[in-house]
């Protein structure tokens, strides 16, 4: 995993401005702590920061097709899991390789297939290719959007990077936030394309962008489609098990220590079990996979259920680790460390956004930091709920009947940061949500003969995969890469996603529970207690001292510059007056977002064009 940056201008010789691409690349140092480099051509400059995972000595970037007078240059982030297969195919077509890296496979795949290179790749990736022959830039992002890729127009071209902060290092890009950006952020709809930053865009998941002297063009090379499902239940169970197993095993390759995130839930336990079994098969019966869970020092005594959590994770994670045979560790955090402003600032800086989930972001950041002391790569169970129908909104009649994005129903407006009345009137977020919801449903593919139940469940799954999942992937990428840790997500394998998306809903909950097909895959390789455990979200602390400390941070945040221009002071103060031991999770998240807003404004000092 790495950080990339680039600048193309047809109006100037960018070689005369080498410090610009060097500064852009330097902002990605946390994503790539092992090495860095830049390449300069007349109209294009590419930068790269490397987290070395495969072919430590041979994967240096930016990578050119030849040492002298290169014709094609690549800056690439991610992992292509089928690079061995592609290498063999390319060799059979006359290509020669100098390294073992998947980077070189992507480069030579472009030389062979041009823009169709993305059709041949399996994995998570974001990359830019400058073609000197055609004076042309190609940007490509993986199908599910696991790896981020941002861009903005500049004089005569564009700049791009793994994170917006890379763009802000270019002298033509000023961090600016307008009403459209705040509407995107605080509507919680997770659109892809526009961002909170004026003029800064995302390359769409499954999308590519071309820049040449004729301008900028974008298109999708992949998106979800509706197809008839002809397999019976038993064949579907077998196919899902095959796809999940193949995805997990294919993501094991690394020349650095690898581990698994094991929460004690179904999703992570199945991945951990499959990966541990593959390690024993390939490395011998004594091979042990490291696995990690997170907990808080107060959790065993003070855990109380809420709208997202029904039980304490640690006993289940410990049991799963023992059942599977991993070298399991629980990272126990003192809830008070989540109030440390340096930790919180690091999280907000990594996100380049005021929108997060407070203590859950900070604890995940600290967990990743602890894991990075021992491992460079971790496998995660992210996306299983979206792929297999795990969230409550797939099963709650009220959520299914509601004509809005289902995650907005989980905590209502309690968790949303209330906006200053004049700003709220200007943004008209409710209307924006309604309009976006209608257009989102119009984009869902359907079959002509779908039943009403199947029609609605396909809508819910499409919304979950194309919106809700995007922000979870952003969160995991930003917080892991801020610690120099690569996190892989087997459930984002596009073949698995395509197959599960078209499996009938009756199969997805054939046992009367959520994620039936994944439970079938886990049968025999995960303990029964985990297989039948209700859905539980990422843990949050319940320590009273945390609530008290958070209220104090929020009071201070209200006095920070421009916070009251955005946040509703009266509503926030009413929440501050609530006794700390009576703060509900949604109200607490409201305070978390005020604190994050103040940190975000202080770090980026954006121009506010409201």
Annotate 543-571 with DSSP letters as a single string.
-HHHHHHHHHHHHHHHTSTTHHHHB-HHH
Calculate mean pLDDT across residues 353-376: 96
Please say if the pLDDT value at position 507 is more than 90: yes
The residues annotated with a catalytic role in the active site are 2
Calculate mean pLDDT across residues 98-117: 97
Please write the tens of the pLDDT for every residue from 339-358: 999 999 999 999 999 999 98
Helix (H) / strand (E) element for 5: namely strand 2-9
Position 304 scores a pLDDT of: 63
Calculate mean pLDDT across residues 1-23: 96
Mapped onto helix, strand or coil, the DSSP state of residue 311 is coil
Please say if the pLDDT value at position 412 is more than 80: no
Question: Is 388 in contact with 500 (CB distance < 8 Å)?
Answer: yes
Question: Is 93 in contact with 59 (CB distance < 8 Å)?
Answer: no
Tell me the backbone φ, ψ of residue 144, rounded to 5 degrees: -95, -5
- Can you give the C-alpha Rg of the chain in angstroms? 24
Beta strands 44-50 and 35-40 are antiparallel
Q: What is the pTM of this model?
A: 0.96
Beta strands 136-141 and 72-80 are unpaired
Calculate mean pLDDT across residues 195-215: 98
The stretches of 288-383 forming alpha helices (DSSP H) are: 299-302, 314-324, 341-351, 359-372
Position 540 scores a pLDDT of: 84
Helix (H) / strand (E) element for 497: namely helix 494-502
DSSP state, residue 507: H
Burial class (CB in 10 A: 0-12, 13-18, 19+), 481: buried
Calculate mean pLDDT across residues 272-299: 94
Calculate mean pLDDT across residues 554-563: 96
């Amino acid at each position: 995993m790495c950080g990339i940056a680039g600048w193309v201008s047809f109006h100037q010789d960018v070689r005369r401005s080498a410090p610009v691409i060097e500064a852009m690349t330097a902002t990605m140092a946390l994503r790539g702590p092992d090495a860095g480099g830049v390449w300069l051509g007349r109209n294009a400059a590419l930068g790269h920061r490397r987290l070395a995972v495969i072919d430590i000595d041979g994967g240096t970037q930016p990578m050119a097709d030849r040492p002298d007078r290169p014709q094609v240059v690549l800056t690439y982030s991610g992992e292509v899991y089928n690079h061995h297969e592609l290498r063999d195919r390319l060799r059979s077509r006359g290509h020669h390789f100098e390294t073992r890296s998947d980077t070189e496979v992507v480069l030579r795949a472009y030389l062979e297939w041009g823009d169709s290179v993305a059709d041949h790749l399996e994995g998570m990736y974001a990359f830019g290719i400058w073609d000197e022959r055609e004076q042309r830039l190609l940007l490509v992002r993986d199908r599910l959007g696991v790896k981020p890729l941002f861009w903005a127009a500049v004089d005569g071209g564009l700049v791009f990077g793994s994170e917006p902060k890379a763009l802000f290092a270019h002298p033509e890009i000023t961090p600016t936030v307008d009403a459209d950006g705040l509407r995107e952020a605080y509507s919680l709809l997770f659109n892809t394309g526009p961002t909170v930053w004026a003029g800064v865009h995302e390359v769409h998941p499954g999308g590519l962008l071309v820049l040449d002297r004729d301008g900028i063009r974008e298109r999708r090379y992949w998106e979800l489609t509706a197809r008839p499902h002809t397999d019976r239940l038993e064949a579907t169970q077998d196919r899902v098990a095959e796809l999940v197993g193949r995805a997990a095993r294919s993501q094991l390759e690394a020349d650095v220590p690898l581990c698994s995130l094991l929460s004690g839930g179904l999703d992570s336990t199945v991945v951990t079990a499959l990966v541990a079994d593959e390690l024993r098969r390939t490395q011998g019966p004594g091979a042990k996979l490291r696995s990690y869970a997170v907990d808080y020092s107060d959790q065993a005594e003070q855990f109380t259920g809420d709208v997202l959590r029904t039980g304490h994770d640690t006993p289940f994670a410990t049991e799963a680790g023992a059942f599977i045979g991993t070298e399991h560790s629980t990272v126990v955090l003192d809830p008070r460390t989540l109030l440390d402003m340096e930790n919180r600032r690091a999280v907000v800086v990594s996100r380049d956004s005021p929108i997060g989930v407070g203590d859950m972001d900070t604890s995940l950041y600290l967990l990743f930091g602890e894991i990075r002391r021992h491992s460079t790569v971790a496998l995660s169970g992210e996306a299983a709920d979206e792929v297999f129908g795990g969230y409550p909104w797939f099963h709650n009649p009220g959520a299914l009947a509601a004509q809005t994005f289902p995650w907005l129903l989980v905590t209502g407006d309690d968790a949303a940061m209330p906006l200053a009345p004049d700003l709220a009137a200007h943004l008209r977020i409710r209307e924006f949500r309604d309009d976006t919801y209608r257009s989102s449903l119009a984009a869902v593919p359907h079959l002509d003969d779908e039943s009403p139940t199947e029609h609605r469940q396909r809508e819910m799954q499409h919304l979950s995969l194309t919106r809700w999942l995007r922000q979870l992937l952003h969160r995991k990428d930003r917080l892991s890469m801020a610690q120099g840790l690569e996190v892989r997500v087997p459930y984002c394998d596009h073949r698995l996603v395509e197959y599960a998306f078209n499996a009938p809903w009756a199969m997805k909950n054939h046992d009367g529970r959520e994620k039936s097909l994944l439970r079938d895959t886990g049968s025999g390789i995960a303990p029964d207690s985990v297989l039948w455990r209700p859905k539980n979200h990422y843990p949050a602390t319940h320590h009273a001292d945390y609530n008290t400390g958070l209220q104090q941070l929020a009071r201070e945040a209200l006095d920070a510059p421009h916070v009251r221009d955005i946040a509703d002071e009266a509503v926030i103060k009413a929440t501050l007056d609530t006794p700390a031991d009576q703060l509900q999770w949604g109200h607490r998240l409201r305070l978390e977002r005020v604190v994050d807003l103040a940190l975000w404004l202080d770090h980026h000092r954006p121009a506010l064009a409201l």
